[in-house]
Amino acid sequence: MRPDAKTWLLILLVAAFLGLFLFYPVANVFRSALWESTGPTLHYARNILAKETIRSGLSNALWLAVATTVVSSILAVPLGYYHAKTDFAGKRLLGAGVLVPMILPPFVGALGLKQVLGPYGVLNAALVGLGLMDRADTVDWFRTYPFVGVVALQSLHLFPILYLNVVAGLANVDPSLEDAARSVGAGPWRVFLRVTFPLILPAYFAGAIIVFIWALTDLGTPLMFNFREVIAVQIFDRVSEPSSPEANALVVILLALVAVLYLGAHKTFGRRAFGMMSVATRAAVPQRLGRRATAGVWLLFGAVILLAVVPHVSVILYSLKTEWQFTVLPAALTLEHHRAALAHRWTLPSVRNSVAYSLGAVTINVFLAVWIGYVLVRKRFVGRGLLDAAVMLPLALPGIVLAFGYLNCFADWGDWFVENGLWSENYLYPQANPVALLVVAYAVRRLPYMVRSAVAGFQQTSRTLEEAAQSVGAGPVRTLWRITVPLIAANLAAGAILTFAFSMLEVSDSLVLTQDDAFNPVTRTIFRIYSSEYAITGEAVASALGVWAMVFLAATLLGASLLMGKRLGAIFRA
C-alpha cells in the first residue's frame, strides 16, 4: 500500500527528528574537525594523529575489540550450536543461564573484579594458599594487566548477544543441506565448518559486529580499570573542550574507524554466506543426547556460566563485606554499605533523575516506533530502505560520538536562546541543565530496540483487522491506535522495558552530558562514588548501587523475555 499525504507527513516528521538529533550533531562534529575559515582541512586530524598517545589509544581500542569479539565467539558459538542442535535434560534452564551475564553492565562488573584481581584479592589468596605466590610479593593483576581485565569483562557481558544470534541463525538452516553433506561422508566438524557455519554467517556477523563496535567504543569499562590509553577515554578527557577542532577530529577519527571496519567486515564476511533457496523446508529434529553427552554439555554450559557470573558474585559480596583481604570469601558480611548508599546525598536524587530521563526516552520512542513500524511494514514508498537503515544507525554509532556531538552543537543553540530572551534557563547547555539532551540522547540510542519490537508486532498482525475497521468508517489513525496498537502491545511493552532498562544504565551519554551532580543519573553517581576520596568505602557503596542496578536490569530483561519469547534475540541484531 502506498502512503497518503498524512503518512508522508509522518515520514517527514520522523526524518526531521532523526535529522536534528542524529545526523546534525554528527555533521557538526565533522564540520568542526574538517573545516576552517578558509575551507576544508585535514590539519587538525593530522595534528591529533601525530601524537603517540592517540595512536596508542587507537591501537589499544582495536585490539580490545578484536580480542573481545574472538573470546565472545569462542564462548557463544559452541553454546549456541549445542542449544540449537541437541536436546538434553535442563536445556531451557541452561539457555536462560547463558543470558545472566547481561544483567550486569561491565562498567559495574569492574567493581567486583577489582576485589578478585587486586593485590589482596581472591586470586592472590588462592595462589598464596596453593604455595604458588609469596604473600609479601603479590601482584596487582587489576592495575598491571588492565587490557586483559577489560577484555574479560566485555566478553563475559557481550557473548550472550552473539549467542542469541547464532541460535536464531541455526534455527533457519535447512537440515536437508547438512544431511546431504553427511550422506557423502562428511564428519561433524566438516559439516559445521563447510556447510552450517557459512549458512549462519549473516546471523553471526550481525551479532559479532555489535560486540566489536561495543567493545571498540566502550567508555565505562576502561575508565573503571583506569586504562586511559583508549580512544573512548581520550575523547572523554576532552569533554571540557567540546568546540576544540582537535577534540572533534578525534571523534571523527573514531567514527571513520567504525565505518571503515563495519563496511569492510560486511563486504568480507557478511556477503560470503551461502544462500538457501528458502528458510528451512522442515524443522530440524534436535539430537537427543545420552547421559554422558548430557553431562558433557552441562559441564560446558556450567563452566561458561560460572565464569560469567564471577563479576556478579564479586559485586554482591563486595557490597556486603566488612573485611576482605587475602581470603577467598569475606570474613564477615554487613548491610552497612547498602545503608550508606541509601543515605548518600547523591543516591535517591540520581535514581529519581534516571527514572525521569528513562521514562521520557520511552515516551518518545513508543510514539516514534509505532509510526516508523507502521510505515515500514504497511507502506511501500521510495526511501523505505533508507528510513530503516537510518533508524538502525544508532546501533553502529558509538555513544561517545553522539554525546560529544550533542555537547558540541546544542550548547551554541542554548546560548543563542538565552541571549535573545527566548528561554529563561539554558536547557540545551549541559553545564546549566542537561535534562533535555539526556532524554533525547537516551531515546535516540535505544530507538532501534523499540522499532524492531514494533516491526515484529506489525509483521505478526494481519492487515484484515485494520481493513475491517476502515470498512466501517474508521480512519487510518484511529484504526492504528484503537485496533493495531492494542494487538502489538506486548511487543511495544517488551521494547519499552528494554529501552527503559538500558537508558537507566547508560554510561557514555550520562558521563559526557552530565557535568553537575544535581542532574546525576545512576551510572554517573556510581562512578562519582567509586572515584571519591574515600576510596575503600566509596568502592563498597558503589558496589551496593551496582547490585541494585543488577537486580533492576534482571527484572526488566525477564519481563521483556516473557513478553517476546524467542523474538527477544531479534532486538540485538544490527
Residue 58 grid cell? 587507537
Q: What angle do CA 64, 65, 67 make, to 5 degrees?
A: 65
* Residue 210 C-beta-side C-alpha neighbours within 13 Å: 26
Element (H, E) at 36: strand 35-36
Listed by start position, the domains of the chain span 42-334
Grid cell at residue 304: 561458561
Contacts of 170 (CB under 8 A, 6+ apart): 80, 81, 84, 85, 196, 200, 203
- The CATH number of 42-334 is 1.10.3720.10
Q: Which residues pair with 86 in a beta bridge?
A: 287
Give dist(CA 140, CA 210) in Å, integer: 31
CB 124 within 8 A of CB 114: no
Residue 287, CA distances (Å) to 152, 175, 214, 293 in order: 32, 12, 35, 11
Q: How far apart are CA 305 and CA 295, in angstroms?
A: 15
Please provide residue 228's backbone torsions phi and psi, each rounded to the nearest 5 degrees.
-90, -15
d(CA 158, CA 154): 6
Residue 397 backbone class (left: φ over 0; alpha: ψ -120 to 50; beta: rest):
beta
**Tens-digit pLDDT profile for the chain (574 aa)?**
666 777 788 888 889 999 999 999 989 889 888 888 788 888 888 998 999 999 999 999 999 999 999 999 999 999 998 988 888 888 888 888 888 887 777 878 888 888 888 888 888 888 888 888 888 888 888 888 899 999 999 999 899 888 988 887 887 777 777 778 777 777 777 888 778 888 888 778 878 888 998 899 898 889 888 898 999 999 888 877 777 888 889 989 988 888 888 777 777 765 555 555 444 555 567 788 888 999 999 999 999 999 998 888 898 998 888 888 888 888 888 888 888 888 888 888 998 999 899 999 999 999 999 889 888 888 777 777 888 888 888 877 888 888 888 887 877 676 667 677 666 566 666 667 888 899 999 999 999 888 888 887 887 776 776 667 666 766 666 777 777 778 788 778 877 877 888 888 888 899 888 888 889 998 898 888 887 745 556 778 888 888 887 887 777 767 666 665 555 555 555 5
Sign of the CA dihedral running 287, 289, 295, 296: negative
The dihedral through the CA atoms of 180, 186, 192, 197 has a sign that is negative
CB 112 within 8 A of CB 319: no
**How far apart, in whole angstroms, are the C-alpha atoms of residue 143 and residue 141?**
6
Name the residue among 250, 483, 503, 473 with its Cα closest to residue 364: 503
